Amino acid sequence: MKTLLPYARFAGVFMLTLLLAACARSPVLLDSTYEALTPQVENRTVPFFAQTEYQCGPATLAMVLNYQGVEVDVDQLIPQVFLPGRDGSVQPEMLATVRRHQQLAYPIRGTMDALLNHLANGDPVVVMQNLSLPIYPMWHYAVAIGFDLPDETLILRSGERERHTLSFSRFDATWARSDRWGFIVADPGTLPEGITARNALEAISAYEEIHGPKEALSSWQALIARYPSNPLSQFALGNALYADGQPEKAMAAFDAATQYDAQMGAAWLNLGILRLQQNKPDEARDALMQAASIEGSWQERAQQLLDEY
């Protein structure tokens, strides 16, 4: 991607960038990271698409989508993510484009330890860097595909370079300027190792907004398999199961949500409604009374149902 800096300032900015690079320190990795990771990892099967001016966003998406088996080229992606007025692609369009191609975009935790562990698990990671200074940003997307731990270098598909190596310190300095933003692309129904419950909820909810609860069901099930005690995940699973015509399993999910968070009024309400539908009036009343006792938007509906029955 091309800098927007005036040419008159370029030399000074270049010197400052060199100074910053010289002062950059390697990020301190956890001992467990060194113990768990193999020394060298490189996913050579990730395809490469060279970027042209301002098109690192579409190029990185073409790489990770094709890696997932989605056949799409850069020219097809340009109108979906490239914003001419912004001279590039911004994060929401990147994530939305992944979802439009029936894939999930999972945000990663913004640490070098998390990034290296994802790469060790075989997952290429789209990362966002600022290759200039914070006050004069030059945003750039790349795909991290591996690392050399003893040499402290990261391996990327970046720009016009199919195999670009960058020291941990230099990469982390540029990555930090984007708040260490990155994501993994994955098939529905799968949850990559190392993705937090919160980030998975964000990713699957966004996917569901486009494709509906039935299409998101397998992903909610994958999330519950990894984080069974997460109440919001159980609640979302219950909604998807109900949309899929599985009321008994939906009730079980809503019940689990209330067990893990007794103050989840929406789960109590849904549980009460389903128990009414299943002709279980006593159990339904218990659930509706719980919902009516918890402050929130569900109270009015819960009380209305209690008054009716």
Q: How far is CA 167 from CA 31, 147, 148, 158, 292, in A?
A: 19, 9, 9, 14, 57
Q: What is the pLDDT of residue 262?
A: 98
Residue 105: strand pairing partners: 185
Q: What is the pLDDT of residue 204?
A: 98
Indicate if the pLDDT at residue 120 is higher than 90. Answer: yes
How crowded is the C-beta side of 150, counted as CA atoms within 13 Å? Answer: 3
Round to whole Å and give the CA distance between 190 and 214: 15
| 252-296 tens-digit pLDDT | 999 999 999 999 999 999 999 999 999 999 999 999 999 999 999
Those residues whose C-beta lies under 8 Å from the C-beta of residue 136, and which sit 6 or more positions away, are 3, 4, 5, 9, 13
Round to whole Å and give the CA distance between 212 and 205: 9
Express as a percent the part of the chain with pLDDT over 70: 88
Which H or E element spans position 41? Answer: strand 40-42
Residue 184: strand pairing partners: 106
CATH number for the segment(s) 7-186: 3.90.70.10
Is the pTM value of this prediction over 0.85? yes
Indicate if the pLDDT at residue 121 is higher than 70. Answer: yes
**Six-digit token string for 30:** 């956890």
**Three-state secondary-structure class, residue 143:** strand
Which H or E element spans position 155? Answer: strand 153-158
Higher pLDDT, 52 or 79: 79
Amino acid in position 249: K
In the chain, count of helices (H) and strands (E)?
A: 14, 7
| 168-208 tens-digit pLDDT | 999 999 999 999 999 999 999 999 999 999 999 999 999 99
How crowded is the C-beta side of 264, counted as CA atoms within 13 Å? Answer: 22
Residues 46-71: what's their mean pLDDT? 91
For 213-308, the fitting CATH number among 3.40.50.1370, 1.25.40.10, 3.30.700.30, 3.30.1540.10 is 1.25.40.10
Are domains 7-186 and 213-308 of this chain identical in fold? no
Indicate if the pLDDT at residue 142 is higher than 70. Answer: yes
User: Rg for the chain (alpha carbons), in Å?
Assistant: 23
The full set of domain ranges for the chain reads 7-186, 213-308
Those residues whose C-beta lies under 8 Å from the C-beta of residue 40, and which sit 6 or more positions away, are 146, 147, 148, 149, 150
